[in-house]
Structures are given as C-alpha cells and as structure tokens.
Structure 1
Amino acid sequence: IKCDNFAIAQKAGEYVEKYLTEKNGEPKGKIVELRGLLGVDAEVQRYEGFHEVLDKHEGVEFVQEAVADWLQSKGRERMTEILRAQPEIDVVYGHNDPMAVGAYLAAKDLGREKEMIFVGVDGLGGNAGGIKKVMDGVLALTFIYPLCVDKAVEIGHQILIDPDFVPEETYVMESTMITPENAAEMYEKYTLE
C-alpha cells in the first residue's frame, strides 16, 4: 500500500507550469526547490516527477536547490540564504509542507512573501498542517499524502471474512490537490477536533 509521490510531483509541476504561463504568457520563471533527505524514495520521486514536467521548458529556470531535510527550521534557514542571493523568484517548491512554510516565513521576514508562490506536499489537517496553510494564504497549494491505515484495515478485514480473497500485489492510494477553492472542505474532512 503506497502513495504515488511521482504522480503528486507531476501534478505539482503541472500546476506550476499553468501558473507560470498565466503570469508570464508562457511557461517561464525562476524556481527554488527545497528537497528532503537526499536519496530517500519520497525525495527522489518528488524531485523527478516535478522535473519531468518542467525541465522541458527552456524558460523555466531552477535558480537554486537546497536540502532542508524535511524540516521547517531548515527550510527557513536555506530560504533566507537563497533570498539574499536571488533577486527574483516566482515559485518555491518544497518536497513537504513544513519546508515550504519555512520558506514562506523566511520570505516574510524579508518582506518578499508576495513576490512568489509556495507549493508543498503532505496536506496534513490541524492548525499547523498544510491544508490550514492553504486556507491562510501561506501555501498556494498542497497535496494530501494519504495515510494507508484505513486501506490496510479494509484489506485485513476482507482477508478475515473471505477465505478466498487474494489481495492485490500493490495498492496505490490517490492524492487530492488542496487549493484555496477546496481547502476549507478538506480541512473539515481531515482535521480531528
């Protein structure tokens, strides 16, 4: 049971491609990418899927990549350094919401948060989660990284009640893109009170 990080990153890339086209008349712009722990499967897939969509556009420039180890504090530190070196940034893509939020906070510290959009992944509920950050205008979007527990319980239950049931070799869980248009509804759905 898994979630398709590559597909999530492709969808993020498609959103950024559309955003840059609307902003600049064609897919061109300057992107900063904050990566998780290098070599971890999720990091590799979130990198490769995003680049598969955007690397084909000559006008899209990845002005800086930085490793922030999935942490908001490191995302903020790296982004502070990047902002001092990069006078123009259109998009910040964080491989998870905490790094993207850290980047936003760094930009806000320097009064530059309105110059760019921030994209994250994981879409957790709760006040500190990515869904709320989309509602608050911190992130332009995030993607829910579905937890696999419900599916595992469903499969386990099916095995118990049906001796002939043979589970599939792989189950791929679908992700949902969270934008300002659906964030409130998704926040209610994914936040426990």
Structure 2
Amino acid sequence: MASFSTRRTRTTRMLAAGAVLGLAALSLSACSGDSSADASGDGNVGVSLIVKTTTNPFFVSMQDGAKKAAETSGVDLKLAAGKSDGDEATQIQAIENAISDGDKGILITPNGPSVVDALKKARDAGLYVIALDTPPDPADAADITFATDNFAAGEQIGQWTAEKLDGKKAVIGMVDLFDDKIVSVDYTRDQGFLTGMGIDAADDKVNGDEAKSGKYTGGKGGDYEIAGNQASQGAEDGGRTAMETLLAGNPDINVVYTINEPAAAGAYEALKAAGKEKDTLVVSIDGGCSGVSNVKQGIIDATAQQYPVKMAELGVEAITKLAETGEKPETTEGLDFFNTGSKLVTEEKMSGVESIDAAEASKICWGK
C-alpha cells in the first residue's frame, strides 16, 4: 500500500492528467440500460451494455448516451441492468446472454465480485470486456475500465471539507455503499475522502479500519472522530436510514460523507428531521443535475462531478475500433484504468481547492 503522502500526490497528479487525456481522447456518446432490449438494430457489431440499475439517473444517462453512440457507430446495442445496486445474479445472466448471442463485447458497471468469474468466461469466449464507472477487482478482470478516479474524487471533497472546517473538530458520519460485499467504487471514494481530510486511511481497500479518533491534517488541521460507517445501497431511502442510525449513535455529527447524491439527499432529510441540517456539512460524489441543484440549494455542500456519458462514449468507440482495426485503448499513465476526470462543485470556494460553482456545473451535468 502506498504511503499517505505518496497516495495523495499520485491521485492529485493523475486527476489532472486524466481530465486532459479524457478531453483529448476518442469522442462519442454513452451507455447503460434496463432489460434485454435492442437499442439499435442495423449495426453489425454486437455489444451488450449491463449497468448496475436504472433506478439511479447516473446509469440512465449512460444508457441514453450509449444509444446515441450506437446509432452513429454501427453497433447493435443490447441493454440490461440489475434490479437494484448490488444485484449480481441479473448481471451474470446478461453476461451469459451476451456470450450466447455472439456479441463482440460487453460494457458493464459491475455490481459486485461475483460477476468476475462470468466476465472471465466471456473473455475466454472471445468477447472484449470493458468496465465503466466501477473497476472490477482485480482490475484485469476487464480488458480496460473507463471511470472516474474515485479515490481522487474522494480526495477533492475531503480537501474541501478540511478547509471549510477551519480547524474545528470533525465528527464524521460515513454513509457508504455496501456492508455485505466489497466493490472498488465503495472503498476508493471512502478512503479518498479520508485521505483528503488528512486522516490516515490504513488499509486502502477496507472501509472503517482507520483510527476512530485523532488529528486531521488537511486545511488548518484539527481533531476528528469517526462516528461510524453505515451502508446506503446508493439509494435515497438507504441514505436516510443510514443517517438516522449514525445520529442515534452520535448526535454530535457535523460532517457527513456520502457515496453518491441519492444517498446524500436521504442523509439530508434525516438531518433536517433532527434539526441538524444547518450545522452539518454534507459532501458527495456524482454531479448529476439534481445533485448540482442540491448544491445550489445548500442541501449538499460540495460534490465531485463525474461524467458517465464520456465513459459510455469511450466504451462504445473502443469496441467499435477493436472490431474494425484491432486497436485496443490504453490506460491513463500510472493507473490501471482510463481516468475520465472529475470537478469539485460547490458554492463556497476554498483556498487551494480548485472548484466550479453550480451554475457552471449545470451546463455539463447529466440526468437533465
């Protein structure tokens, strides 16, 4: 595991590099879906897009973009999705279907570790496998991943939080994704946030193993206390329940990290019901139009905006190029995936933390 300072330097550097490379790279449209339906019927390159769920607008935006990309790229695009975030069984069946249909490739946002064996089977059958948004574990279970550098995105909101605290004690509630399985997007965002705060995250693939109290070194530095970790399933109702549980254990929470914006919206409702919404910082990762609106309204104090349409565009283009020329995409230097970049969105700029405001973010948000 890299040291604290090395990890912080690496991810900051890679975030900037990923954003530049992402803009200079191939251009297309996006990906994701629900059920096994054809989105484009006239192409001759068969591709299955398998997302986590279509109850989250992030994946719906992927779906819409992928359809447009398929229309212009000569791709027969089939769509499938888990019934909920974490539904591995439906994704495994969709992978089996792609193999049976003789598809050229699979684009997938993996719902958990159980899909890895199915992805290996697909690759053994000659399909090109591209992960989107969530790198599988191990990363080489896919041929390449197009994703946000989730650790760096977590660092962005952690650095902003440390600056905003201005030396005050941080009593932190961690609203994560799962507590019954391990997926990379869950631990990289969580650990990135802690690292950005200046808290030693210990094992960077394990949520909740950091020291429960101590000093954070970000911003002016100060004392911190971890009130606990609760799973949200990445959903608004799960975020509310997680926040209610955290408050029951420690009513002094004044900082809330959330895995995504639906969970953040739910956490805010719990804080509001407890009369604590005005005195608590809520930070998140996503950058959807509803989340950006919540930043404008003060429901979310800062979020890291990511770009699902770009992920999908690059995925569709990569499989099309592979089918036509045999050319394979390359990862971002220093990472085991291609970084599609992120930007911090907040109405309160902090010294030394690069950000955009909600008005600017609304011009490039997804899920309109």
TM category, shorter:
0.7 to 0.9
Structure 1 residues not aligned, in runs of 5+: none
Deviation, structure 1 residue 166: 5.3
**Contact 1:91–1:118 under 8 Å retained in 2:** yes
- Cα 1:84/1:8, change in 2 over 3 Å: same
Q: TM-score, normalised by structure 1?
A: 0.84
Distance in structure 2 (CA, Å) of the matches to 1:191 and 1:53: 26
- Cα 1:177/1:77, change in 2 over 3 Å: same
2:186 aligns to what?
Answer: 43
Deviation, structure 1 residue 130: 1.0
What pairs with 1:10-159 in structure 2 (closer than 5 Å)?
10-20=155-165, 22=166, 26=167, 28-38=169-179, 39-54=182-197, 55-56=199-200, 58=215, 59-125=223-289, 129-147=290-308, 148-153=311-316, 155=318
Distance in structure 2 (CA, Å) of the matches to 1:104 and 1:167: 40
Q: What's the CA shift string for 1:62-109, capped at 9, x where partnerless? A: 112211111110111121232233231221110111111111101111
Alignment partner of 1:183 is 2:183 = no
Aligned partner of 2:243: which letter? M
**Contact 2:321–2:328 under 8 Å retained in 1:** no
Q: What's the CA shift string for 1:141-193, capped at 9, x where partnerless? A: 111121102233455676689x5965324421111111126112221332566
Deviation, structure 1 residue 137: 1.0
Aligned-residue sequence identity (percent) comes to 26
- Cα 1:79/1:166, change in 2 over 3 Å: closer
* Secondary structure of 1:17 counterpart: helix
Deviation, structure 1 residue 11: 1.2
**Contact 2:154–2:304 under 8 Å retained in 1:** no
Distance in structure 2 (CA, Å) of the matches to 1:139 and 1:119: 6
* Secondary structure of 1:121 counterpart: strand
* Secondary structure of 2:285 counterpart: coil
Aligned partner of 2:183: which letter? V
- Cα 1:158/1:27, change in 2 over 3 Å: farther
**Contact 2:284–2:303 under 8 Å retained in 1:** yes
Aligned partner of 2:357: which letter? N
- Cα 1:191/1:174, change in 2 over 3 Å: closer
Q: Which has the larger radius of gyration?
A: 2
* Secondary structure of 1:189 counterpart: coil
- Cα 1:164/1:27, change in 2 over 3 Å: farther
Q: Greater shift after overlay, 1-10 or 166-175?
A: 166-175
* Secondary structure of 2:262 counterpart: helix
Aligned partner of 1:4: which letter? D
Structure 2 residues not aligned, in runs of 5+: 1-145, 201-213, 216-222, 332-336, 348-355
Distance in structure 1 (CA, Å) of the matches to 2:357 and 2:230: 30
Q: CA RMSD in A?
A: 2.3
**Contact 1:18–1:27 under 8 Å retained in 2:** no
